[in-house]
Amino acid sequence: MIDRFNYPKVSQNVVKEFLDSLRKGKFRIPICLKCDLKIWPPANICSNCYSRKIRMSKLEPRGRVIEHSFSHIDSTEKLGLVEISGIRIIGILSEENLKQVKIKLLDYDESARDFSQRFGTRILVRKVLLMIKKTDTEEIEEKELDVEELEKRIRKERLWSSSNRWIAKSEIKNGYIVASRHLDLLSNAIALDIITF
């Protein structure tokens, strides 16, 4: 009969190490020494190559909010899915250091013709006002971006641009461009280091 309780002894308790560092305010996660996988959620064994040779590594504590929502059970809390160095975590968001990004349409090319009718009526964006608000201090940073000019510049310098300045009328709400199109409009400015987050 197999002894169900006779599990192989673990040489290292990764979960304990993870929690101990968290208590000290350090976000360290296990990384497989054999295949470099970030083992998430923390475990004593690599889920890719089953190696038990693991090191704990500190991650860059800055992340990106992918999705957020409110919980209305007991108290109103903001929940979010955050990506940090390639791993995704769900948790309660504190307003500290959080930034809100808004993009206001300033100018578009009225002579540009959209021959594709697949997306409904679209306009070709020329200039936008980028507004970044830090939610803890309410401090607002504004920057006017000539996205048409940036596209020309990046085409000249890098021969290729990933921007898409065509925006559907339904993607503009009260003069502001919806969040799902932000990256399309900002990609060149980010690539040229004109803006950083």
- What is the contact surface with Zn ion in residues (CB under 5 A)? 32, 34-35, 37, 46, 48-49, 51
* Residue 126: other Cβ atoms inside 10 A: 19
Comparing CB distances to Zn ion, the nearer of 47 and 170 is: 47
CB of 59 to Zn ion, least distance (A): 17
CB of 49 to Zn ion, least distance (A): 3
Comparing CB distances to Zn ion, the nearer of 29 and 46 is: 46
Comparing CB distances to Zn ion, the nearer of 34 and 62 is: 34
Comparing CB distances to Zn ion, the nearer of 47 and 137 is: 47
Neighbour-count burial for 40-55, b at 16+ CB within 10 Å, e otherwise? bebebbbeeeeeeebe
Answer yes or no: are the C-beta atoms of 178 and 172 closer than 8 Å.
yes
Token pair belonging to 155: 């085409």
* Angle, CA of 153, 156 and 161, to the nearest 5°: 75
CB of 75 to Zn ion, least distance (A): 40
CB of 10 to Zn ion, least distance (A): 16
